[in-house]
Copies of this chain bind each other. A is one copy, B any other.
């Protein structure tokens, strides 16, 4: 049941487990948990379905493994918000780091979005626990900057939400973004960076 980690020993196990996780990330992030099938994942991983279930006890276990390895890295950019740096610079750098993540890890972002959209059945404790704790801590930092007059007086929580929203949008709504902009690789990320930098530098500058 809570048997998730395969604990790979040999090289071949290592290789297959990571092939499965990569394939599963691809499939889950695009189809959601219920929409994904073991057939799709097995095919993408280059394995048979029973062989896949030799490495993970269930579909659920694969999904949980993906989420846990994702959550580990998800908090990182926010964690690096530095109390010692220049406040506006710190916020803008946070925005750009999150945008980089959206470009480099779009599947992870969509996996997370799928989970939240469907009511976060598997990560609800993570949200009200570690995530809330870190956000509250950083919100206090931002609040102290505002109180000191070093940034504009805004609600820190909504500032953080807006940064998540604007950056992850480029991963989660990728199809829509590309459908509206002229096609052409990841070129639009430069435009996004420029715009967001403008918006937050202006928006956060002290009075």
The complex places the Cα of A131 from the Cα of B180 at a distance, in Å, of 8
Beta-carbon contacts of A171-192 to B below 8 Å, as 1s and 0s? 0110111011100000010011
Which residues does A use to contact B, with CB under 8 Å? 30-35, 110, 113-114, 116-120, 124, 127-128, 131-132, 135-136, 152, 154-155, 157-159, 161-162, 164-166, 168-170, 172-173, 175-177, 179-181, 188, 191-192, 194-196, 198-200, 202-203, 205
Residues of B within 8 A of A157 (CB): 180-181, 191
The complex places the Cα of A71 from the Cα of B76 at a distance, in Å, of 37
Is there an interface contact between B116 and A176, defined as CB atoms closer than 8 Å? yes
A83 to chain B, nearest CB (A): 20
Is there an interface contact between A175 and B34, defined as CB atoms closer than 8 Å? no
**What's the number of copies of this chain in the assembled complex?**
2
Residues of B within 8 A of A30 (CB): 117-119
Is there an interface contact between A195 and B158, defined as CB atoms closer than 8 Å? yes
The verdict on A198 contacting B152 (CB below 8 Å), with A117-B110, A161-B177 known, is: yes
Is there an interface contact between B132 and A180, defined as CB atoms closer than 8 Å? yes
A57 to chain B, nearest CB (A): 22
The complex places the Cα of A168 from the Cα of B166 at a distance, in Å, of 10
Which 6 pairs, one residue from A and one from B, show the smallest C-beta to C-beta distance?
A34-B35, A165-B169, A158-B195, A127-B179, A165-B165, A199-B203
The complex places the Cα of A116 from the Cα of B188 at a distance, in Å, of 18
The verdict on A195 contacting B33 (CB below 8 Å), with A116-B173, A124-B179 known, is: no
A-B contact pairs, 13 of them (CB 8 A): A32-B114, A32-B118, A34-B35, A114-B117, A124-B175, A127-B175, A131-B176, A135-B180, A155-B191, A157-B180, A158-B196, A162-B169, A162-B196
